[in-house]
A and B are shown apart, each in its own frame.
Chain A
Amino acid sequence: MHRFNEFLSGYERGQLEEVRKVQTVGTDFSELMGKYEMVLGDERYDFSNLNLQKLVLHSPNITEVLTPEEINSFLQATRDYEEHKDYLWKTDLMMSCLIQNSYHQGFNRFNFEIRNFSIPPSLGIYLVGEEKNPIDVTILGNAVLDVGYKANYSMFTVNGDVGGSGCGLYARFSSFTFNGRVNFASKLERFHCTFKTTFWDNIAQMKENIPPGNRIIYINGETEQLVRDYHE
C-alpha cells in the first residue's frame, strides 16, 4: 500500500475538459447520405414496385434542398458506391429528386461532372420543369446511358459523347444539345423535343434515330440552322 501511494504521489489529476458540440445547421448532407444508403440497400425500391415518376416529384423522404454545386458534390460522393448492383438507377432517382427539390426552391442551372465515372448515371430522368423556366442541366463528360429519360420541359447540354439508347427517351417538350459525338442505337419515342448538335457529322445519325415530331438543329458557330422541323 505504501509503495502504491508512492507510485501515485507524482500523479497530477488532469482537469475535466469542457467540449463544445460541433454546430451543424440542418445536417442535410449527413442525413442525405444516410437516406441514399438506405435506398441502395432497400430491396423494396424496385422498378416494378414503384411509381418512379411520383417518387421523383413528390418523394416524402427526400426533402433536402441543395444548391446545384452541392448536388454535384453529392453525385461525386456516390462514386464510392459505384459497384453496388443497383447503383445506376437508384442514383439516377436520387439525383432527380434533388434536382427537382432544388428547382422548386428557385435554383436552376445544374452542372454535373461525370468524367471520373466508369459508367455514369443517367442524369435528369423524370424531371419536370416549367415551359417558361425549363430545368437546365449541363453534363461534362461522356453520357453513355440515357440522359433526360421521360423528362418534361427540361434543357440538357452534354459536353461529351452520347450513345446507348440515346438521350431523351420518352421525353417531351425538352431540348438536348450535344457538343460531342452522337451514337444512338435506338429509335424509341420522343415527343416535341429539340435536338441540337455542334457537329455536322452527327446529323445523319440523329435524323435516322430521332423519330418525326421532333426538331433537329445544327449549331454552326453562332447561328442555329434548322435541319428538320417538328412536322417534317
Chain B
Amino acid sequence: MNKWQKIADEQTPKVLHEFHHPLINERVVLEEQVKNASGTHPSKTAFFDFRTNTVHQSEAFLEYLVANSDIDAETAFRGVFKHELGHYLKYPKELWKIIHLRYLAKVHFEEFQEQVFAYFVDLMDNLQIVVEKRRGKDLRDLYKALHLIRQNTLLSDETRAGLERQGLDADAYKEIVEQNSVDTLLTAYYQIQGGEDLGVELDFDHVNKRLDHFAQKKEGKASHEVGEDPSKNLEEKLVTLMRTNFTDPRCEELNFHIFGTIVSELLGKIKKEYPQMPSGVPNQNADSGWQDLPTLGDLSQEQLEEALDEMIKRFGKRRYEEIRKFVEKETGKEFDAAKPRGFQKGIGIERSSITFYDGQISFYERLARVMGRLYLKPRAMITDVHNSYPEGQKAFTVSDPLRTLNPFSTGGRVLPGITQRHVEKHGTKTDTKDRIPNYNIILDSSGSMTHPQHRSIPITVSYVIANNAWSNGAKVGVMNFSTDVAFLPPTRDLEKVYSLLTAYWGGGTVLNVSKIREYYQRLVGGELPNLPYFSSEQDYEQLLERMHPAEQKLYTDKNITLQLDKPLKQLYESMDNVMITDGGIFNIEEVVDYMNSVADLTRNVIFLLNNEAEYQRWGDLHLRNTQLIHVEQIDDLYGVVLGDMKKRLVKE
C-alpha cells in the first residue's frame, strides 16, 4: 500500500464524519494523474465524479503540494477532499446548475468561459467551508499553500530563462501576472471571509476604507467620497467581491455575471500583454482554476434528461429552449425532438383558421410530466358491463363446474347423465359502475390567452389533465375555442390531443354552444370518425338547412335545455368537462345555460383566469351544478387544478 493510499484510508472516514456521512462513495480514488471515465476531463488536481459520487485525487498533485509548501500530507489530502466534497454538498450540488452555469458562461464570457465557470463554482464551494472555523481549517491551509507555491513559482528560473530567450522582460511579466491574478484575488477573499492570514499581501487598508465607505453610504452617513484607485487593480476587484452577496441564491445570475466580468477582465489583461505564452512559461489563461467539474459530455443521457426536467420547471420557455439547444450542441444528442404532426387531416380543417404549433408539443409534454401526477377518482357512470345469464339446460357431467348444477331437476339427488345443469350465456348489460370518466378539455385559445409559443400555463395544465386522464385509462377529448371551435372526439391517441391543445385560434371569444350540442349529437350518432372536427358558420348553416323546422328550432333556440336521449345521456355521463378560460366570453348566458344543462350528468369545472369582474358576472348567472374556480394568479393554476382534481367528489 503506498503512502497516499494509507493516508486516504485514515483520513477519509474522519472527513466524512465531520460532514455527517454524506451519501457518497467512501473510497477516494487515487490516481497518478486524474482522468474522468471518458478520459477527457482536464483536471490535473482532483475531481468529483457526479455519475458515481466518487472523489478522485491526483497523487502527483498532492506530492507537488507537499514538496513545494509547508503543508503536511494529511492536511493536503483533507483540504483537497473537502474541496471536492464541497462540490457535492455545497455547490453546485445539482447537475442542472452545472449545465445552467456552463450555458451562462458560454453566452456571456465565451473566450474565458471555462475559467469563469471553474472559478465561480470553486468560489461558491470554498466560501461556505472556509467560514467554518474547524471544518474549514484544512481548506484554508490548502489555499495558503497554493498561494505560497504560486508566489515561489511565478518567476522561477525556468520561467525567467524562457521569457528572456524570447526577449521579454521577466519582471514586467511578473508584475502583469501578479496584478491580474484571479487566484490571488480569490485567496485574498477567502482570507477576509475565513478570518485567517493566508499570506496574501494586498493593500487591505485601501480595501477597508472603501468598504467602510460603502457601509456608511448605505446608512447615509458617508461624509466624504473614497473613490476608486485604478492603480490598485486587485484591491478594487476585491471590494466588488465583498459587495457581492454570494450567499443569496436570488441573485445568483447577477453574481455570476459580476464575478465573470472580473475574471474575464483580469485574464483578458494578461492575454492582451501576452497573447501567446512564451514556451516554458505556464499559461495563466489555460491553467487557471481547478476545472474539476464534469463537462456536458461526461453526463449520461438520464442525467441530462433529469437536469432538463429541473430546468424546465425553473426557467421561462425561451431560456429553457436556449439551454436545451446548448445541451444538444455540446453533447450531439437530441432532446425534445419535434413530434410528427398530430393531424394530417380533419373535418373542416381546410376552412378553419386555426394554427397548429406541433413543434411545441415536446416542450409542453416535458413540462406537464414534471408538474406532478394525478390519480383520478372514479365516479359512477352508465357503462357496458359483462353479464352472464342462464339459457337452457343440459345433462350434468362430472367435469362441469358444480355451481352450474341444477339439483332441483332430479328432486335433490345428483344422478350423472340425468341431472341437469344450467347453460350460461355471456353478454353485456348496461349498468352503473365506478369508472374513470373520459375527460373533455375545453380550452380557450382566443387572442387574450398566452400564445403556445410562449410558456402558456393553461396549455400546460391541459397537458397535465390529458396526460393523467390518459394514464388512468380514460379517453380525452378536446374543444379548442375562440370565435370558432375545433373538436376532437374522446380518444386514446394522445398525440392528437396534444396537437389540438397546442393549436391556437387567436381572435375574440364566443363559445358556440349550438355547435357543441350539434357536435355531441353527431358523436352519438356515429357521424364523426376519430378525426378532429372544425366548426365553421358554413358547416352549421348546412346542417340547419337539412333539418326539419322543428328540429332547427331545437338547435337555434338558446333558451331550451339539452334534449337528452339515452345514448346522449350516456355520453355525457361518461365525460368530465374542464374548461379553462380567461372569461370575457361574448355569449356568456348561453354558455352558462349549456353548462347547467349538462351538469346534472357530468362534472363541470370552469377555471377562470385572473378576471375578477368576469368571476362576479359568472357568479351572478348562477351556475347551478358547475364549479367555478377563480384563479387569481395564473401561476397558481397548476396547484389549483391539481388540488381540485384530486379532491373532486362524485355528484350524486
State the A residues within 8 Å of B (CB). 12, 14-15, 17-30, 32-34, 37, 65, 67, 69-70, 72-74, 76-77, 79-83, 106, 113, 116, 118
Nearest B residue to A118, CB-CB: B318
Partner of B131, one of A19, A33, A76, A106: A19
Q: B193 contacts the other chain (Cβ, under 8 Å)?
A: yes
The reply to whether B193 and A23 contact each other, CB–CB distance below 8 Å, is yes
B residues less than 8 Å from A116 (CB atoms) = 107-108
Beta-carbon contact of B318 and A26 below 8 Å? no
- Candidates B18, B127, B133, B455; contact of A22 at CB < 8 Å: B127
User: Are B250 and A80 in contact, CB atoms less than 8 angstroms apart?
Assistant: no
Structural contact, A19 and B254, CB atoms closer than 8 A? no
CB contact under 8 A between A30 and B245, given known A73-B257, A80-B319, A82-B319: yes
Which of B134, B254, B319 meets A18, CB within 8 Å?
Answer: B134
Instruction: Please pick, from B133, B218, B248, B258, the residue contacting A73 in the complex, using a CB distance under 8 A.
Output: B258
Sorted from nearest, which 6 A-B pairs have the closest CB atoms?
A: A77-B254, A83-B316, A73-B257, A30-B245, A33-B251, A18-B133
When the two chains form their complex, are residues A77 and B253 in contact, meaning their CB atoms are under 8 A apart?
yes
Q: Is the CB of A17 within 8 A of B254?
A: no
- For A34, what are the chain B residues with a Cβ–Cβ distance below 8 Å? 250
B335 beta carbon closer than 8 Å to chain A: no
Q: Is the CB of B107 within 8 A of A29?
A: no
Assuming the contacts A33-B254, A73-B257, A116-B107, asked whether A26 and B319 have C-beta atoms less than 8 A apart, the reply is no
Say which residue of A15, A77, A83 sits within 8 Å of B251 (CB atoms). Answer: A77
Contact B214 A26 (CB under 8 A): yes
List B contacts of A22 (CB < 8 A): 127, 131, 193, 245-247
- Selecting from B149-157, B236-244, B422-430, the interface stretch reads B236-244
| Complex: A28 Cα to B213 Cα, angstroms | 13
Contact indicator A28/B247 (Cβ below 8 Å): no
Closest to A26 in B: B214
Interface centre among B239, B318, B454 (most CB of A within 10 A): B318
B112 to A: closest C-beta gap in Å = 15
**CA distance in complex: A82, B192 (Å):** 36
Q: Is the CB of A27 within 8 A of B245?
A: yes
In the bound complex, what is the Cα–Cα distance between A37 and B127 (angstroms)? 26
Instruction: Name the one of B134, B227, B250, B258 contacting A15, with C-beta atoms under 8 angstroms.
Output: B134
Q: In the complex, what residue of chain B is closest to A81 when comparing beta carbons? A: B316
When distances are taken between beta carbons in the complex, the residues of chain A under 8 Å from B108 are 76, 113, 116
Q: Please state if A70 and B211 are interface contacts (CB–CB under 8 Å).
A: no
CB distance from A71 to the nearest CB of B (A): 11
Is the C-beta of B325 less than 8 angstroms from some C-beta in chain A? no
Please give the distance in Å from A15's CB to the nearest CB on chain B: 6
Q: How far is the CB of B91 from chain A (nearest CB, A)?
A: 13
Give the complex CA separation of A29 and B568 in angstroms.
63
**How far, in angstroms, from A19 to B193 measured CA to CA in the complex?**
11
B132 engages A19 (CB within 8 Å)? yes
- Does B261 make an interface contact (CB < 8 A)? yes
Complex alpha-carbon distance, A21 and B215, angstroms: 16
Nearest residue, chain A, Cβ from B129? A19
Give complex CA distance A106, B225 in Å: 11
With a cutoff of 8 Å between Cβ atoms, the chain A residues found around residue B254 in the complex are 29, 33, 73-74, 76-77
Contacts of A18 in B (CB 8 A): 132-134
CB distance from A85 to the nearest CB of B (A): 9
Interface members, chain B 221-277 (any A CB < 8 Å) = 225, 227, 239-240, 242-248, 250-251, 253-255, 257-258, 261
Minimum Cβ distance to chain A for residue B627 (Å) = 28
For A26, what are the chain B residues with a Cβ–Cβ distance below 8 Å?
Answer: 214-215, 217-218, 243
Cα A14 to Cα B211 with chains together (Å): 37
Considering only CB atoms, which chain B residue lies closest to A76 in the complex?
Answer: B257
Asked if A29 contacts B215 (CB within 8 A), the reply is no
Q: Looking at chain B, what size class is its interface with the partner chain? A: 35 or more
The answer, yes or no, to whether B378 is at the interface (CB within 8 Å) is no
By a CB distance below 8 angstroms, the chain A residues around B341 are none
Q: Would you give the 0/1 interface string for B443-456, flagging 1 where the beta carbon is closer than 8 Å to chain A?
A: 00000000000110
A sample of 10 inter-chain contacts (CB < 8 A) reads A24-B243, A24-B244, A27-B218, A30-B245, A33-B251, A69-B258, A76-B254, A77-B254, A82-B319, A83-B316
Q: Would A83 and B317 count as touching, CB distance under 8 A?
A: yes
Q: Is B289 an interface residue (CB 8 A)?
A: no
Distance from B237 Cβ to chain A, minimum over Cβ atoms (Å) = 11
Shortest C-beta distance, B465 to chain A (Å), equals 23
In Å, the complex CA distance between A81 and B227 comes to 33
What separation, in Å, do the CA atoms of A117 and B455 have in the docked complex?
17
Given contacts A14-B17, A73-B258, A79-B319, contact A25 B192 (CB under 8 A): no
CA distance A22 to B91 in the complex (A): 15
Interface hits, B281-327 → A, CB 8 Å: 315-319
A77 contacts across to B, CB distance below 8 A: 251, 253-254, 257
Given A19, A29, A33, A79, which contacts B243 in the complex, CB threshold below 8 Å?
A: A29
A72 to B109, CA, bound (A): 13
List residues of B (196-219) whose CB comes within 8 Å of A's CBs.
211, 214-215, 217-218
Given contacts A22-B247, A33-B250, contact A82 B134 (CB under 8 A): no
Contact of B174 with A by CB under 8 A = no
A161 to B225, CA, bound (A): 39
Residues of B within 8 A of A14 (CB): 17-18, 20
Other 17 A-B pairs with CB < 8 A, given A17-B134, A20-B195, A26-B218: A12-B17, A14-B18, A17-B133, A17-B135, A19-B131, A20-B131, A24-B245, A25-B214, A26-B214, A29-B244, A29-B251, A69-B261, A73-B257, A73-B261, A74-B254, A76-B257, A116-B108
Question: Which residues of B lie under 8 Å from residue A37 when comparing CB positions?
Answer: 250
Task: State A33–B258 Cα separation when bound (angstroms).
Answer: 13
Q: Name the distance in Å between A63's Cβ and chain B's nearest Cβ.
A: 9
Interchain CA distance A15-B132 in the complex, whole Å: 12
- Tell me if B250 and A83 are in contact (CB < 8 A): no
- Interface residue B86 (Cβ < 8 Å from any Cβ of A): no
A81: which B residues are within 8 A, CB to CB?
316
Q: A17-B134, A19-B133, A29-B258 are in contact. Are A83 and B455 (CB under 8 A)?
A: yes
CB distance from A52 to the nearest CB of B (A): 24
Cα-based distance from A20 to B127 in the complex (angstroms): 11
Q: Nearest residue in A to B455 (C-beta to C-beta)?
A: A83
- Tell me, yes or no, whether B194 is within 8 Å of chain A by CB: yes
| Cα distance, A24 to B189, chains bound together (Å) | 11
Q: Given A23-B192, A70-B258, A29 and B245 touching (CB < 8 A)?
A: yes
Give the distance to chain A from B239, nearest Cβ to Cβ, in Å.
8
Within 8 A of A (CB), among B53-111: 107-108
Residue of A27, A73, A116, A118 with highest tally of chain B CB at under 10 A: A73
